[in-house]
Chain A
């Protein structure tokens, strides 16, 4: 951001706040928040939904991925104030209320697709966007790697995560690209 790099005095020393209402995991939530509050912090600090993890806070690692209005998004690159009226879905809503895991979570378990687990919620939310899409999945090595390319995992080497995606797609009987 070269044009703004020269230090400009902050025009405001105040911390403006706004009331926002959004739907989180099916429940309507209204809070008064600072306009600079990131969705990731809102979920964790205001709502206690700490399943959404915060890694890099600049959109690279994917740990904070949630769904906004039905599609995957980086919660660290979303201002809550801009999401008034939006529908947000987090990892907490993926398993059933009785604790039954989603087929994708089952597949992660079966394939040992996590070690420390820090990246896992973001992985699940990013992959779900594809599994729930009506577009055919590309389950070739390259296709799955591309699908995972926006999420970093420092433990697994990805091989088991790739297997988990394929297993979940098979168990969910999803349409696959020829």
Chain B
């Protein structure tokens, strides 16, 4: 339970960091280290060198503009979670960050580090995808921007090249008047989500949804946008019927295999219930979030009617009555 041997380089500038990464084949970038160090302690990761970006002052800035929350690569989760300007500009960030591990981990871990780690059930990748955000990375040939839709390739795999360092993440602000919600099902507080979902809805003057974004984590090999569920809500007044249709579309999107915590059908069932909330918790202009508030887990809400053709009972497969099938690979935080 100790890391294997490695070399440690702590550059003071972005240029030096890019050069150090190029000069150490196989090296990995470390920021807060709250995902990488557990993997190294387990020796699941044995990089020959770490490029430690914690001394680079320009990566420590958190900026809120009228367009986006811009999170530098050394900004810790907890800083973003507690920032009042961030809460006003993009309340989904604080809501989702409350689910990220525990406070001591959030005190050290970074938002950009979580994005680059790209666990398929982690909250920050889901949020970048939900908000149509993007990453800025730097490599030997300069800087480039990568849209969230192009960034997450697979579980723990992004389109950042091995010789590139992520500099910042841009989370667009919540559109004025938009409703939003974030829900998550996890076995224990702070665990990786078995399923999580974020929603942003903008309504037209007549009350119909003119723009819908729904993103999900934990149900596929990477965070995904639920296009069919989005389409089921677009142009509607979000009544029970259309929300139920969207929930069915959401459940159909589950492709993750079962594991020790949830069989695949069980996960799909939770996921349906989690998606079919009667209405977004923040249906009008968002109030300042109360970051210690925890919404009741979706499983405690009344289960919605089963979709036609479903043979899964809803009561038997709730979180209190697990249906573990196979011991699939699990992730460590």
**Which residues of A are at the interface with B, using a C-beta cutoff of 8 A?**
1-5, 7-8, 10-16, 18, 35-36, 38, 41, 57-60, 62, 65, 68, 71-74, 76-79, 81-82, 126, 129-130, 135, 138, 142-143, 145-147, 149-150, 177
- CB-CB under 8 A from A41, the residues of chain B are 2
**Least CB separation from B109: chain A residue:** A77
B294 within 8 A of A: yes
- B 64-85 contacts with A by CB, 8 A: 78, 82
Say whether A14 contacts B5, CB under 8 Å: yes
B46 within 8 A of A: yes
Q: Residue among A12, A18, A81, A130 with the most chain B CB within 10 A?
A: A12
B149 within 8 A of A: no
Given that A2-B157, A59-B38, A74-B108 are known contacts, is A150 also in contact with B8, CB under 8 Å in the complex?
A: no
- CB-CB under 8 A from A16, the residues of chain B are 6-8
Say whether B2 contacts A38, CB under 8 Å: yes
- Bound CA–CA A3/B28 (angstroms): 11
- CB-CB under 8 A from B34, the residues of chain A are 59, 74, 77
Name B8's contact: one of A35, A62, A138 (CB within 8 Å): A35
Say whether A150 contacts B190, CB under 8 Å: yes
Q: Residue among A2, A16, A73, A77 with the most chain B CB within 10 A?
A: A77
- Bound CA–CA A1/B155 (angstroms): 9
- CB-CB under 8 A from B156, the residues of chain A are 1-3
Q: How far is the CB of B303 from chain A (nearest CB, A)?
A: 22
Say whether A10 contacts B104, CB under 8 Å: no
**Least CB separation from A177: chain B residue:** B292
Say whether A77 contacts B155, CB under 8 Å: no
Say whether A57 contacts B41, CB under 8 Å: yes
Say whether B44 contacts A5, CB under 8 Å: yes
Enumerate the 10 nearest inter-chain pairs by beta-carbon distance, A residue then B residue, closest first: A150-B102, A11-B48, A35-B8, A149-B189, A58-B38, A57-B1, A72-B104, A1-B45, A71-B107, A1-B39
Given that A68-B108, A126-B103, A150-B103 are known contacts, is A79 also in contact with B26, CB under 8 Å in the complex?
A: no
A-B contact pairs, 5 of them (CB 8 A): A2-B155, A12-B48, A71-B104, A77-B33, A126-B102
Q: How far is the CB of B298 from chain A (nearest CB, A)?
A: 16
Q: How far is the CB of B30 from chain A (nearest CB, A)?
A: 7
Given that A35-B6, A72-B103 are known contacts, is A10 also in contact with B33, CB under 8 Å in the complex?
A: no
- Bound CA–CA A73/B34 (angstroms): 10
B54 within 8 A of A: yes
Name A10's contact: one of B36, B48, B50, B189 (CB within 8 Å): B48
Name A82's contact: one of B28, B30, B41, B107 (CB within 8 Å): B30
**Least CB separation from B162: chain A residue:** A3
Say whether A59 contacts B4, CB under 8 Å: no
Say whether A8 contacts B190, CB under 8 Å: no
B3 within 8 A of A: yes
> Contact flags (1/0) for B1-27 with A, using CB distance below 8 Å?
111111110100000000000001110
- CB-CB under 8 A from B41, the residues of chain A are 38, 57-58, 76-77
- Bound CA–CA A11/B27 (angstroms): 10
Name B104's contact: one of A36, A38, A62 (CB within 8 Å): A62
**Least CB separation from B156: chain A residue:** A2
Say whether B292 contacts A36, CB under 8 Å: no
B332 within 8 A of A: yes
Say whether B104 contacts A74, CB under 8 Å: yes
Q: 14 other contacts beyond A1-B45, A35-B8, with CB at 8 A cut-off?
A: A1-B156, A5-B44, A11-B7, A12-B5, A36-B6, A59-B333, A71-B78, A74-B105, A74-B108, A77-B37, A78-B37, A82-B30, A146-B189, A147-B103
Name B5's contact: one of A7, A13, A143 (CB within 8 Å): A13
- Bound CA–CA A76/B30 (angstroms): 15
Q: How far is the CB of B7 from chain A (nearest CB, A)?
A: 5
Say whether A82 contacts B33, CB under 8 Å: yes
- CB-CB under 8 A from B108, the residues of chain A are 68, 73-74, 77-78
B188 within 8 A of A: yes
- CB-CB under 8 A from B50, the residues of chain A are 35, 79
**Least CB separation from A143: chain B residue:** B292
- Bound CA–CA A79/B32 (angstroms): 10
- CB-CB under 8 A from A13, the residues of chain B are 5
